[in-house]
Structure 1
Amino acid sequence: MTPARPTADASDARLAEALEPLRTDPSRAAVLLDIDGTLAPIVRYADDAHVPEATRALLIEIARRYKVVACVSGRRASDARRIVSIGTISYLGSHGTELLRAGGIEPVLDPAVRDWGRRIQAFGREADNPELRRLRVRIEDKGSIVAFHWRGAPDEEAARAAIDTIAGRAEQSGLRTHWGRKVLEVRPPVRMDKGAGIQSFLEDADLDAAMYVGDDVTDLDAFRGLGEMLAEGKLRHALRVCVRSEEGPSELADEADVVVDGTDGVRHLLETLLHDDAQ
């Protein structure tokens, strides 16, 4: 059974009620979180992202108490762990196709994606031309994904137009494109989404409840992945939390069980998750 979906923000009482299936038995619960815009505030330059120390402290305590804790990101798994800086949780990078387990050293990449890495990187090198640099479009190498960011460009409209052209070339080359918050990702033409990654990661975890918290379009896949596990009887409870922001997609709130405001709202959610009154 999943909580009734709210029509407005989660009050403290509603939030506590929604979290109760996880808090009642943490030894059979999973806590899964996006990073950028969820744990770490959105910043102008992606490399400057960091998780506030107060949030990190809560997440460390949650990792001690709950059976499964993981961050799920479009970044490489190693980059995700660098930003969060906690070694006792797992990281699903590249939208779930790369897994760095808690305490692990080397991430494991889905074989279906691995062989596309060189082609994706070659596409990124070819796209990196003087015009993009003039427009200050930033290219991020994510291994099996290449991302083009236009946040903070002096002329964001012109930068977006240039990236539209890149998206067209990618699609003509047989690659896939995915749009996020002022970013285009060029991906391999294989299934590559957070929902599939989460389902594979939790396959043998023997859980009753799982929660996913996210703020962007790619997190819809994670919501739907948990929903499928619930429908298949692999979970008894699934909680999908939307982190609302000015740039976030409206459909995320529509599919969420609970809505919180920004990274401060996520920190309050984590605090509530640690309250002992349900145990």
Structure 2
Amino acid sequence: MSSNAFEPRPIDTHKPSPARIYHHMITGEVIFESDLPFIHRLYEEIPFYPLWARHNRRFLTRAVRYMIDSGIRQFLDIGSGLPTGGNTHEVARELAPDARVVYVDNDEEAINRARDLLRANDLLDSTVMLDADLRDPARILEHPETRRLIDFSEPVGLLLVSVLPWVPDAAEPAALLARLRTAVVPGSALAMTHVSLQDAGMEIKQQVAAGAAVFSDTSTPVTLRTREQFETFFDGWKLVEPGITYATDWHPDQPVDTTDYARPCNFAAIGTLP
């Protein structure tokens, strides 16, 4: 059962949030000057980190397009973060004007900025932002705004792009994903990415490990996992070819740079529900 009350993580101008850091990597925008020392420290440890973030964003775009092409018209984007270029609703509605999107985040700043954006663009009839958390899937699934926009008798596109690294093993992420899976019908799809060190070279492993340690100073520490661990999160889903691969390599729309240091550090896949 969902808890009756949910309190989003409050805005903390003194401690960096993953949402703000990810937003900076995509856009270059600095929201709080107090984030700059952390950003500089992180980039010193992992120089290619902004490129990794852009790989995630491009995968999200391709994933949404794949789902639209598969006939899906409604999306749950969990852990969507701060609004930035190439949002799910922008990609989806460009191809299917009737597409509907429910964003979910537990960060007050991301929630407020997304709602302001949607309101300013007169999108609230088709797109909303929920103040919720993957660790309480019932709140997401039973929320009145979810029920207003999502018809669970029709296929749903689930998006968890770079979300599971922020969910520790103690929160039982596989069980949380299983709860989402049982809520949707065959024909639905699940798209996820996950940072990993498994295929990285020694220098990159040292850099990413140092970067993960840097994130211990943020509001949400990061958890690194292997390809095999990531694949277990797709239990019950049929992986779309090529299965578990790198975010850059999943149905690429441009040539893949095999010398890209960020490439092997980010697994990605889409599964469909039989």
Structure 1 length normalisation: TM-score?
0.30
**More strand per residue:** 1
**Larger of the two Rg values belongs to structure:** 1
Larger relative CO (CA 8 A, sep 6+): 1 or 2? 1
